[in-house]
Amino acid sequence: MTLFKQLILFTLMLFLILFTGTLLLSFNNTRSFLLNQLESHAQDTATSLGLAISQRAVEEDRASLESMINAVFDRGYYQTIRYVNVEGKVVVERQLAVTFEDVPSWFIALAPLDPPEASANVMAGWRQGGKIYVRSHPGFAYSALWKDSARMTLWFLSCAVFVFLVGGLGLRLLLRPLALVQRQADAICRKEYESQEPLPRTRELRQVVIAMNRMTFKVKEMFEEQAAFAEGFREHAYFDSLTGLGNRRYFEMQMRSRQEEREGAGGGLLLLVQIRDLQRLNRQRGLQAGDELLKAAAFILRDLAQSCSNPVLARLTGGDFAAFLPDSLSWEAPKIAEKTANALSRLAERKLSATENVANIGAVTYDTPTALGSLLSEADLALRTAQQKGPNAWHIRGITEETEKLPAGEQQWRRTLEDVLQARRIRFDAQAVVRTAVRNDCMHLEVFSRIVRGEDGVEFRAELFLPFAERLGLVSLLDRIVLEEAMRLDRQKLGVDAVAVNISPASLHDDDFRSWLHSALRDLPPSAPRLVFEFAESAAIRSLDSVRQFREHIRQWGHAVALDHYGQSLSRLGYLQLLRPDYVKVDRAYTEALKDSAGDSRFYIGSLCSVAHSIDVLVIAEGVETEEQIDMLKTLNIDGLQGYAIDRPKPMAGNSAGS
């Protein structure tokens, strides 16, 4: 029970006690007064009547006695008038039945009035003629007592209602600071930090609010320090402080992770960009001029990667940059390289470079898993060739094995995807995610999809077709098909309560998709599993408001939102507090970099766990492939594990590609 209700009840109880005591005291006083009045009334009547009938009593004139007694009895309000002669014989007696019309019977039983009988001697001189007895009728007394009690009760009830309404309003105003303190405490539990202003005037409440504000500030300061430490460590280990891009360590870690993935990275485009005559610029204009040129080049590379998902951008050393674009295929490479070279060459017009020859670009395309060393070697050869071509030149080399299997251009991709989606030729696999502490406790299953081309049955993984599905506006239809399959699953047969599905933030901007999804979630049968919508971190950051609103909407039906490949985008940790995903999956690059207890990756994962746990966000490691990694992750307080060391993706029962 709330303090407000307790205070109201306590006030009403005190009021009830006061009312009961006052009512009883007033009731008894009134009752005693009325009994005295009845007794006095009866005695006065007996005395006056005894004097009036004395002569008739001595003469034993019965008719006159009756007339005189009847006159008094009819004129007054008496219960009994009785005249008894000296022998004790009743000569005349009048009685009136005791009935009450306007007084409840329960009140009469509760407050009995037994008026005393008064008497007087009938004397004629020294001679006694008899005795007169009079008892007043209690009807008027009962009526007066009932009306007085009813008026007092009505008055107290009116006062009680007034006290309840006005006092309740006053208590709410007085206790409002406590309600705000409760809201502050709830906000802290949600890892939100609110201060209460203005301070209440009541001294005790003011001190409580001041203490609460101080605690809120301290907790917020602790979280910010914790997040700043984790971010600072990651920046030191993986960031280039000048350009804000990743450093060489970050680049190699990300590339090895993608290249060493068991199923392979599929393909992509790697560019090496070399800024020319940087040392000459530093000598002529100073280090600040060189720094401005490097920052401008980094800005161009960021702009280049805007349309790509999960790019890897890094400054390797000095004026050397690397850009890995996993979504790009060989036929797109010349356009990308030329656009980048033209943008860099325009830096000379802004007088940022020492010469017109700003940069050369070497690029390598590949469509089959290739070792990082080979990629860098081919890209370096392409860069040397570009340098020989002349100022601001670019050159592309290709590594291919089965290029002919992939659609050759955007229109071929459109026809392939539309055919696949219409025929629903999609294959679904599932992989378990388990709790670190108990490896046989499955947290959820993650669903992976492949499309199957109709004419030859060739399968394409999501890494290959998703960029084109987004670019061609087909990704929402693809996400809908995947979600429809997930919604048909039975949690009893799966053996888990939750299924994770990767969807694109671009689908959230499709009105038809949102309308369908909200209706489908509302009508989801009880047997269906709880859905976890996973978004790639880099894509989620670009659509942060849409993802946050989506999370708030689906949580009313018990579903969840999570971030995949966390740490890949080198973003700040602050947005976690705004988005509040149910969990984040640490990018496999950090998992694979776990080498020893003093490694940077270990410290980063440990710091991330500390920050995420402080705002009730779980942390899951993906790409776990060895027992050594599992042992080290256990020491970092990580919540879940996913990878080949735990479970391999398996075809989902009852879900296969359409024919």
List domains and CATH numbers for the chain: 3-161 (3.30.450), 190-238 (no CATH), 248-404 (3.30.70.270), 410-651 (3.20.20.450)
Strands 583-586 and 560-566: parallel
Query: What's the Cα-to-Cα distance from 310 to each of 2, 256, 384, rounded to whole Å?
Result: 51, 14, 27
Tokens of 276: 């020319």
Write the pLDDT tens digit of every residue in 258-314.
766 544 445 688 999 999 888 888 888 888 999 999 999 999 998 888 777 778 899
Tokens of 609: 């766990």
Write the pLDDT tens digit of every residue in 580-610.
899 999 988 888 887 665 567 888 888 888 8
> How far, in Å, CA of 318 to CA of 294, rounded?
9
> Which residue is associated with the tokens 């004395």?
54
Write the pLDDT tens digit of every residue in 635-658.
888 999 999 989 888 887 655 444
> How far, in Å, CA of 594 to CA of 587, rounded?
12
CB 650 within 8 A of CB 431: yes
Write the pLDDT tens digit of every residue in 327-385.
677 778 888 898 999 999 989 888 888 888 899 999 998 877 777 777 888 888 888 88
CB 604 within 8 A of CB 230: yes
> How far, in Å, CA of 531 to CA of 486, rounded?
8
Residue 28 three-state SS? helix
User: DSSP of 609-635, one letter per residue?
Assistant: HHHHHHTT-EEEE----SHHHHHHHHH
> How far, in Å, CA of 281 to CA of 287, rounded?
8
CB 131 within 8 A of CB 93: no
Crossing angle (nearest 10°) for helices 248-259 and 372-389: 120
Tokens of 646: 């735990």
- Count of Cβ atoms closer than 10 Å to residue 197 Cβ: 8
Tokens of 427: 């294959």
Say if residue 463's pLDDT is above 80.
no
> How far, in Å, CA of 424 to CA of 70, rounded?
112
- Count of Cβ atoms closer than 10 Å to residue 30 Cβ: 17
Average pLDDT, the chain: 82
Tokens of 230: 């984790």
| pTM of structure | 0.60
Nearest Cα to Cα of residue 315 among 271, 358, 345: 271
Under the banding of pLDDT at 50, 70 and 90, the label for residue 228 is low
CB 329 within 8 A of CB 363: no
- Count of Cβ atoms closer than 10 Å to residue 554 Cβ: 18
